[in-house]
Structure formats: structure tokens, C-alpha cells
Amino acid sequence: MPKKSKTTVTSLQDLADLAGVSRATASRALNDNPVISAKTRRKLQALAAKHGYSINRQARDFRLRRTGVISVVFMLNVESGQHMSDPFFLDMLGGIADALADHDYDLLLAHAPVVNVLDLRGSRVMQQSDGVIFIGQEEQHERLNELAKGDGHIVVWGYPVPEKNYVVVGGDNFAGGYKATRHLLENGRRRIAFFGNTNNPENAARHDGYIAALSEYDIDPDSQLKIDVPFEMQRARDVIINMLDSKVDLDSVVCISDVIALATLSTIQELGFRVPQDIAVVGYDDIALAAYSSPQLTTVRQNIRHAGRILVESVLALIRGEDVPDTTLASELVVRKSSSTP
């Protein structure tokens, strides 16, 4: 009887196949990541020991002159009440973390209140990582450009503004703003407000889409209907109440984020308005809570977790010395009960 061949384990993928798990799970288990159950970690670690497999990351990184770390910086608009606990950020972080684990990279997480990203020069974020992913541009384009001149492995979740030195991954913001507004117009709405700060390129593009849809119906923008609503719930509520107290005539709202849209939903219903009969509401991002609000929130969906993976693939391609194009991801209108025909 022929001798049974011994299983050879020379790579992380070999070990994952032997255990019947994904490469990402195997990597996390060997690194004792608590996301993986203790039972699975013990199983993978025992298999690795049995077959003499270990991740010699230090040798690999020394050979390639790499740190094995990617920094992720959240560009928070603190003045507007934006925090890392925002569901959009958490979904994006999940997609990035999963993709980095698949490539056996560690994640260094940081946040940069929007003051001056050049302050990151010389910091651990820039010096102890192979590349940096910025989530958001805010009003920092010129500074990001300058930062990228000296530290070339930079990818930004944002809008592809002209003459930039960094790679951009982002949603089709113009199309998203246009689709949201066009949907309301097609349902008979004519006094459509726009809620949110438009100082950053992404939100400005959404507002441009809003204006373009209005123009197709020969509707001129009304400055009373453009309101800078902050992300923080109580402050958003106060701004919305002040607007409605001023007797501004509106029948619908396009919001730059689902967080602002959910604040709008709850506030206008507290004040006795019916949604969507009196005021229809459309959000942006399609966070998980959007499908569970009352009424369920119509929103523009961005595939946020997929976007996180594209951000990682882009920064790793830069590290390999490849030419990396910008990526624009499709925006999809998801119609729910908050915007049905009056």
C-alpha cells in the first residue's frame, strides 16, 4: 500500500486550506486576534505548530523595507459634531480592516480634527507605516497635496479635484445628489431643502447634483432652503427647529448623510409633521439604521465596505510602485417609505 503523502504547509493559504477557513481568518488566528473565537485560534495555532509554519513578518518586512502597517486617518469635522462613532465611519473601517487582514497588514488608526493635516508630518502615522488612507478631504486638499509630495503612498476617500498628487476613491456624489432630488421632483415635490455643510468637495458635488435636478424642472435654488445642519444630534435638532419656526415653506429634504436625515426625521415628527405626507426625507450612505427608522429612510447607497477594500487595494498598489487611477463608485437610490408619493 503506497504511503500517504504528508501535507506540506509553506504559506498562509496552505494553512487556511488545511483548516477549511479563509486566509483572513487564518491570519487573525495566528496573530491571536480576539475577533476570532478562542476555539478557532487554538485550532489554527495547533495546526501551524504541527506543520512547522510561522509568519516571519520581521524578516519579510526587513527584506522589503516595509513596516507591515497601513495608517488610516479619519478627517473629522469636529465643529460640525462629527465623530468616529458615526456609522458611516465604522462601516468604512470594517471594510478596510478586513482587506488589510487579507493582505496580512496591520492597521494604525488615527483621527485628525480638521485643522491642518500637515501637522501629521513626522508623526507616527506617517513615519511608521507604508501608506496612509485618509477618510475625507474636508477643506484640506492643498495640504493633502503638499503632504503627498513627500509621502507618496496616500489614498483619499473623497472627490477627484483637479491637480492633485494623491489617489482618490469615492462615490459618484454628483449623481447621488441628482438622483435624490430627481426622485422627489418626480413625486411632485417642489420646495426641496438641502441639509448639510457643502464646504468639502464631496458634499459640494452632491449639492451640484441637487441644483442640476432642480434646473431640469425650471426651479431656481432658494437660499432659505440650503441649511448647514451639523452632524451632532442635538445641534441638528436645534437648527431644524429654528428653520421650521421661521415658517420656511418646504415639502421635502435632501440630506448629505443618513445621520442628518435620521435627526431630521425624528425632529419634524416631534413637531407634528407627517413623513412623508407633509415633508419627505432622503438621506445619503444607506447605513444599517436607515432600513429600521420609522418610517424607513429613502437614501443614496454607497457600498461602504466595498469602498474600504478598494482603498486598501489602491494604497497597496502604490506601495508596489504601480500607477493607480482614481476610482469612482456608483451611487444607487434606495427608495423606502420616507419619500413615497404624497
| Cα–Cα distance for residue pair 144/99, rounded to 1 Å | 24
Strands 280-285 and 252-255: parallel
Q: Are 70 and 133 in contact (CB under 8 A)?
A: yes
C-alpha of 339 from chain center: 24
| Cα–Cα distance for residue pair 232/225, rounded to 1 Å | 20
Whole-number pLDDT of residue 28 = 78
Whole-number pLDDT of residue 2 = 44
| Cα–Cα distance for residue pair 197/257, rounded to 1 Å | 10
Per-residue pLDDT of the chain (342 residues; tens, 9 = 90+): 444 445 677 777 888 889 999 888 887 788 777 678 888 988 988 998 888 887 655 444 444 447 889 999 988 765 555 666 778 888 899 999 999 999 989 999 886 665 577 777 777 888 888 999 999 887 788 888 888 876 669 999 999 988 888 999 999 999 999 999 999 999 999 999 999 989 889 999 999 999 999 999 999 999 999 999 887 778 888 999 999 888 899 999 999 999 999 999 999 999 999 999 999 999 999 999 999 999 999 999 999 999 999 999 999 999 988 999 999 999 999 999 999 865
Q: Where are the alpha helices (DSSP H) in the chain?
A: 12-19, 23-30, 38-50, 57-64, 87-102, 124-127, 141-150, 173-186, 201-216, 233-245, 258-270, 304-319
The residues facing 193 across adjacent strands are 253
At residue 228, φ and ψ (nearest 5 deg) are -80, 90
- Report residue 140 as a C-alpha cell: 484640506
Closest-CA residue to 64 (of 159, 162, 133, 130): 130
The residues facing 300 across adjacent strands are 284, 333
Whole-number pLDDT of residue 56 = 56
In this prediction the pTM is 0.78
Residue labelled with grid coordinates 485550532: 43
Strands 280-285 and 298-301: parallel
Q: Residue 284 carries which side chain, given as an amino acid letter? A: Y
DSSP 2-53: PPPPPPP--SHHHHHHHHTS-HHHHHHHHTT-TTS-HHHHHHHHHHHHHTT-
Q: Are 128 and 108 in contact (CB under 8 A)?
A: yes
| Cα–Cα distance for residue pair 155/133, rounded to 1 Å | 5
